[in-house]
């Protein structure tokens, strides 16, 4: 009886460890797959939403498989890291054998999700998996190349959304995404280096960065973020925006919102007050939600015809 009670009591803890190993909070990155639907104003297209939803599920499962594989490959480095040592496999709260079983099961489930979709989706998913694997095995230990590949992995999710829905991606969207995600990748490195400097360390375990690189990496990240904002401002003046928005001038109000969010992220990063993972920070940050809601309202205002309300 006592062993049964212990088993029941331990079940929630086991699920929490599994959720941590699967990095469920990281699934929020895959909402980028829906970006082409939003930017092309096809949010009511049921067929496109279903295709994007299946692609979202496939990327979530594939990403979890990659995170598990990465944790198993980096066990020793993670055990020396001040935060990563708490991960289930590094801490020993989940057996390595469980990871070896889970990873291929998750990959198989991801392939099942994309069976009804266009072959191009499978090609993009394979590219994503291959790049993440190459990143884990090689590029994450290479100076600067790691952040460029991270930016590409974010952008690939948008490409997957376009492949799944058949929506052509504009060069404006792709260039904006590349620089914004490059900025976020640099912020991840800055946060790691700040934590290492605070702990009195000189070299990042398993990385090619030193704490003396902190200020320079910070400059790269801020510049990338401002370039993303500049690309968005140039997009507002393009011919393409006039075909999608009835009142494109409203989009100018998004520029200060974007600049505020980017500069706030970088101030917090340099202070060491931001989590090492910018996605986890964004998911838990009320200001990010407020900026997001205001941006959505501005997009809706720029899209809707005011004439139907009697406004000129």
Q: Locate tokens 């058949």: which residue?
A: 166
Asked if residue 262 has pLDDT above 80, the reply is yes
**Are 160 and 124 in contact, with CB atoms under 8 Å apart?**
yes
Identify the pLDDT of residue 305.
Answer: 63
- The pLDDT tens digits for 229-240 are 999 999 998 888
pLDDT at 246: 87
* % pLDDT > 90, the chain: 39
pLDDT in tens, 151-179: 999 999 999 999 999 999 999 999 999 99
Q: What is the DSSP letter of 311?
A: -
Query: Poorest-confidence range of 86-95, 259-268, 276-285?
Result: 86-95
Q: Is the pLDDT of residue 186 over 60?
A: yes
DSSP string, 107-152: HHHHHHHTTTS-HHHHHHHHHHHHHHHHHHHTGGGSTTHHHHHHHH
If pLDDT is split at 50, 70 and 90, which confidence band does 275 have? low
Confidence class for position 32, pLDDT limits 50, 70, 90: very high
**Share of residues in the chain with pLDDT > 70 (%):** 86
- Of 50, 28, 31, the closest CA to residue 166 belongs to 50
Read off the pLDDT band of 3 (50, 70, 90): very low
């Amino acid at each position: 009886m006592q062993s049964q009670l212990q088993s029941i009591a331990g079940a929630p803890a086991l699920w929490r460890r599994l959720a941590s190993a699967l990095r469920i909070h990281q699934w929020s990155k895959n909402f980028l797959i829906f970006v082409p639907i939003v930017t092309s104003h096809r949010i009511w297209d049921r067929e496109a939403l279903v295709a994007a939803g299946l692609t979202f599920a496939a990327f979530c499962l594939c990403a979890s498989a990659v995170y598990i594989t990465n944790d198993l490959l980096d066990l020793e480095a993670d055990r020396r890291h001040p935060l990563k040592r708490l991960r289930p496999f590094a801490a020993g709260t989940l057996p390595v054998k469980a990871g070896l079983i889970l990873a291929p099961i998750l990959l198989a489930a991801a392939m099942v999700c994309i069976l009804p979709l266009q072959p191009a989706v499978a090609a993009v998913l394979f590219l994503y998996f291959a790049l993440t694997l190459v990143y884990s095995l090689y590029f994450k230990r290479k100076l600067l190349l790691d952040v460029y590949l991270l930016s590409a992995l974010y952008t690939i999710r948008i490409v997957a959304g376009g492949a799944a829905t058949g929506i052509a991606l504009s060069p404006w969207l792709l260039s904006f995404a590349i620089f914004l995600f490059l900025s976020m990748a640099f912020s991840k490195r800055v946060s790691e280096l700040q934590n290492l400097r605070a702990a009195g360390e000189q070299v990042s375990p398993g990385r090619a960065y030193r704490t003396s690189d902190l200020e320079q990496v910070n400059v790269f990240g801020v510049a990338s973020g401002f370039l993303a904002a500049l690309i968005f401002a140039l997009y507002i003046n393009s011919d393409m925006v006039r075909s999608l928005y009835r009142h494109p001038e409203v989009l100018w109000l998004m520029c200060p919102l974007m600049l505020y969010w980017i500069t706030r992220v970088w101030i917090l990063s340099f202070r060491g007050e931001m989590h090492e993972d910018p996605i986890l920070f964004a998911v838990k940050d009320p200001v990010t939600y407020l900026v997001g809601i205001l941006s959505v309202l501005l997009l809706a205002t720029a899209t809707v015809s005011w004439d139907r309300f009697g406004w000129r």
